[in-house]
């Protein structure tokens, strides 16, 4: 049993015991280790911030939990169909997306989730960095194996943006919006970014990684100075700290629900959810395309999610990829 599995098992026993004690014998049976070896595992949990009382004749009792995204905590009564079937948590990693790629190549099941407290090489879109300090934010990557051709992969970007916007709106009671196609904003400031990556051949997706970074408890001075787009965090918007655990559990449930909808009914109902958070219709925007910049009024979205822009010369442009500036 790995260290993470052992901690997961102990936390599950604590959860089942509620406010009661779990005896050393119970833990040693569950882990298949001696009662002296348990002490080491308990110490590791204490180092992570768990307050654990030890009483010689009774055993151990959980008195308080930190806001750490251990698999056992994330998965407890999650009741999702697919998303979160496996959860791997790292205190520090290079990038959760890179970890999810390794899982994808190793044949891990669809719905596996990688979480990290901090990333030392957090990746943003277009080769940019994603600022990933410890203790404050959510860095998550979800592995999917959608049975669709690679040309439909961008539909999953709308799906993850819709799930993130819903979670931001619900957990913070905030007016979240989506910036086409994949940033989530509050009050015009970026609160979450998505980096979806694909491993595919011409007609088949091997796996897809939904990379999700959400600024949860980041303070103003923690944001890098060279941000391309004004940023904010849930804490700055709500005026209180947000539980990372509550947020990620809510997010995984929304992802699970929207993915089940996508598999059973296709893209239209997912796009309809995304559109509930899209507030640019009728507004003038600038769009940076790869080779030029266009200005126009947003007419809406095409059925495949392409942005429809009415240009000043009276023509309508279908934009498939680009950076939108309201
Ligand atoms: C963007 O540039 O807006 C996308 C940022 C995506 C960041 C997330 S954090 C979790 C996952 N792991 C990464 O290295 N990047 C994504």
Ligand 1, atom nearest to 128 Cα? 2
- CATH architecture observed for domain 71-275: 2-Layer Sandwich (3.30)
Could you read off the pLDDT of 165-223 as tens digits, one per residue? 999 999 999 999 999 988 999 999 999 999 999 999 988 999 999 999 999 999 999 99
Does residue 83 have a pLDDT over 80? Answer: yes
Ligand 1, atom nearest to 121 Cα? 14
Could you read off the pLDDT of 1-53 as tens digits, one per residue? 666 678 888 998 998 999 999 999 999 999 998 888 898 899 999 998 999 99
3-64 and 71-275 agree in CATH topology: no
User: CB-based contacts of 121: which residues, under 8 Å, 6+ apart?
Assistant: 94, 95, 98, 129
> Distance from the CA of 194 to the center of ligand 1, in angstroms?
6
> Distance from the CA of 130 to the center of ligand 1, in angstroms?
6
> Distance from the CA of 47 to the center of ligand 1, in angstroms?
28
User: What residues are in contact with ligand 1 under a 6 Å CB criterion?
Assistant: 95-97, 119, 122-125, 128, 130, 139-141, 183, 193-195, 211-213
What's the CATH code, domain 3-64? 1.10.10.10
- pLDDT at position 4: 64
Residue with CA nearest ligand 1 atom 3: 193
What is the percent of the chain with per-residue pLDDT over 70, rounded to a whole number?
Answer: 99
Q: Among 62-76, 104-118, 312-326, which range has the highest average pLDDT?
A: 104-118
Domain residue ranges of the chain, discontinuous segments joined by + = 3-64, 71-275, 284-325
- CATH architecture observed for domain 284-325: Roll (2.30)
Residue with CA nearest ligand 1 atom 15: 123
> Distance from the CA of 18 to the center of ligand 1, in angstroms?
36
Confidence of residue 323 (pLDDT cuts 50, 70, 90): confident
- pLDDT at position 35: 80
User: Edge-to-edge strands of the sheet including 293-301?
Assistant: 316-319, 307-311, 293-301, 284-288, 323-325
| Mean pLDDT across 111-130 | 95
| Mean pLDDT across 264-284 | 96
44 is in an annotated binding site: no
Confidence of residue 279 (pLDDT cuts 50, 70, 90): very high
> Distance from the CA of 87 to the center of ligand 1, in angstroms?
18
């Amino acid at each position: 049993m790995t260290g993470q599995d052992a901690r997961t098992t102990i936390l599950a026993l604590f959860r089942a015991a509620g406010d009661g004690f779990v005896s050393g014998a119970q833990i040693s049976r569950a882990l298949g280790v001696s009662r002296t070896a348990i002490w080491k595992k308990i110490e590791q949990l204490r180092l992570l911030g768990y307050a654990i009382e030890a009483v010689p004749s009774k055993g151990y009792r959980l008195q308080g939990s930190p806001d750490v995204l251990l698999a056992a905590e994330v998965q407890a009564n999650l009741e999702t169909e697919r998303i979160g079937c496996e959860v791997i948590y790292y205190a520090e990693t290079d990038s959760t997306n890179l970890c999810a790629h390794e899982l994808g190549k190793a044949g891990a099941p669809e719905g596996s989730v990688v979480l990290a407290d901090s990333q030392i090489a957090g990746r943003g879109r277009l080769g940019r960095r994603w600022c990933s300090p410890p203790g404050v934010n959510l860095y998550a990557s979800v592995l999917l194996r959608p049975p669709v051709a690679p040309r439909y992969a961008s539909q999953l970007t709308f799906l993850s943006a819709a799930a993130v916007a819903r979670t931001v709106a619900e957990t913070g009671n905030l007016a979240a919006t989506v910036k086409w196609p994949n940033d989530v904003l509050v009050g015009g400031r970026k609160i979450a970014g998505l980096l979806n990556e694909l491993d595919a051949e011409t007609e088949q997706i091997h796996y897809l990684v939904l990379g999700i970074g959400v600024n949860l408890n980041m303070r103003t001075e923690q944001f890098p100075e060279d941000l391309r787009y004004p940023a904010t965090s849930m804490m700055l918007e709500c005026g209180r700290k947000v539980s990372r655990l509550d947020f990620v559990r809510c997010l995984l449930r929304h992802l699970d629900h929207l993915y089940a909808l996508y598999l059973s009914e296709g893209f239209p109902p997912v796009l309809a959810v995304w559109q509930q958070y899209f507030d640019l219709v009728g507004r003038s925007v600038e769009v940076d395309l790869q080779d030029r910049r266009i200005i126009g009024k947003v007419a809406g979205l095409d059925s495949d999610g392409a942005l429809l822009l009415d240009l000043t010369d009276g023509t309508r442009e279908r934009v498939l990829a680009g950076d939108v500036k309201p």
